[in-house]
A and B are shown apart, each in its own frame.
Chain A
């Protein structure tokens, strides 16, 4: 009988550095999910038309615990975006003539678009 080596369903990602890195990347989505919930809550607070409730929401945002979460989320979003941009040339190769557009150009374009979007958002947020 052929021998089947057991695979741990709970610790497999500790076996290999690349697996671990991948799992960290996947974990970042937890924070992004939390942030999405936060946004939903904010929208709910505005939509409720209850000024006091909205005020409470804003106060929560500036509480130290929340600030930590927001900072962590910001860092994590950067990490996630950079990791993703790095691999976009694999998912979306562009062929011009015979040659493929170098990966750096495709990843670079993503950064440019990211910055542009951020500027637009900041503009509407009244930063400029």
Chain B
């Protein structure tokens, strides 16, 4: 349990007081097992109770604590303090989002985009519950499983230069979830989603920098989903051209 010394430079911003954000520095003696989130919690509990940030599960699954750590979008609960031992670490709110307060960013944009891709099973005809489950082979499951793992932490949006430059872009997580449903054997909604996905701010704003996949803490690989969506979208476009658009 030997100590790791950390110098946290945290971006502070309170819209009721500040014109613009500024950094505030805290020295934290951390236990070796701590994650960066534990260090921030220590600041909140023992040093400065006015610090605002989101967190909950502390097991990298609720997606609350995405923030820029040393310039990279990360889950604060998933990076060890040892990675930054005896260093100055900059902690900033997720890039590319407006700052609500301190490390808290405004996420409305993502919530709205997610809804637009219709991330739910769409069927022409529902099978009644009494008829049991839709059969789905392990191979069919595996086809889309990876894209179900998105925790909506928005690290990918913070990593995406396209989103930074073109805020209308639907972005990695929302599109990856569209692809997740498109490729689910139970779903028949590809044609319906196509309208939204094939817009310029849909898949075509992606220039495949792959930075979303590098940032993704759950290895969802949204860049992969987007490239596959580009192909699917193109195929669908041709299908519609020759009047065979419906899946």
Contact assessment for A93 and B211 in the assembled complex, using a CB-CB cutoff below 8 Å: no
| Cα A91 to Cα B125 with chains together (Å) | 31
**How many residues belonging to A are interface residues under a CB distance threshold of 8 Å?**
24
Cβ of A99: which chain B residues have Cβ within 8 Å of it?
142
Residue with the greatest number of chain B CB neighbours at <10 A, chosen from A3, A5, A19, A92: A3
State the Cβ distance, A24 to closest chain B Cβ, in Å: 12
A interface: dominant SS: mixed
State the Cβ distance, B231 to closest chain A Cβ, in Å: 7
Instruction: Tell yes or no: B98 within 8 A of A by CB.
Output: yes
| Cα A93 to Cα B179 with chains together (Å) | 14
Cβ of A93: which chain B residues have Cβ within 8 Å of it?
224, 228
Instruction: Tell yes or no: B209 within 8 A of A by CB.
Output: yes
Contact assessment for A5 and B95 in the assembled complex, using a CB-CB cutoff below 8 Å: yes
A interface residues with partner B (beta carbon < 8 Å): 1-5, 7, 9, 12-13, 16, 18-19, 22, 26, 87, 90-93, 95, 97-100
Q: Could you list 29 examples of A-B contacts with CB < 8 Å?
A: A3-B15, A3-B20, A3-B99, A7-B165, A12-B161, A12-B165, A18-B214, A19-B161, A19-B209, A19-B211, A22-B207, A22-B209, A22-B210, A22-B211, A87-B208, A87-B210, A87-B223, A90-B210, A90-B223, A90-B224, A90-B227, A91-B228, A92-B227, A92-B228, A93-B224, A95-B139, A98-B138, A99-B142, A100-B142
Known: A3-B99, A4-B99, A5-B21. 4 other contacts (CB 8 A): A7-B165, A16-B161, A90-B227, A99-B142
